Amino acid sequence: MTAQLSLSLSNRATRKRVGPQLARRMMAILAARGTWVKRKQFASYGLTDRQCRLGRECSHGRIIVGQQGFRLMREATAAEIREHTGFLESSIKALQSQLAQAYRRSHKQLASKREE
């Protein structure tokens, strides 16, 4: 069993240093298992949900996410890859919508507040 990483991932420098390590660790686990791995299964390897998200983010597209969990892109089917890219596109659209709503709602509030 490997040692659990217990670092604050809110610090940008820590994320930049630890992220690639997490990605390599996740890819090794995924390669050994050869199938989808859920976050709960990664927990048995000492990885938290936040570490899984950071590891996938730092994998530069090598790890995909879907309803079944995480998987290496090279082992995924075409349908699984399309599901992953569709998930990313819908997430981006949802965030863009939230940002537009925040801009609309905050415009009046920001105009009435003084800069500190």
- List the structure tokens of 27: 């890819």
User: pLDDT at residue 63 above 70?
Assistant: yes
DSSP state of 1: -
User: pLDDT at residue 27 above 60?
Assistant: yes
Cα–Cα distance, 86 to 79 (Å, whole number): 10
pTM (2 d.p.): 0.75
Cα–Cα distance, 88 to 75 (Å, whole number): 19
Q: Roughly what angle, to the nearest 10 degrees, separates helices 49-57 and 12-33?
A: 90
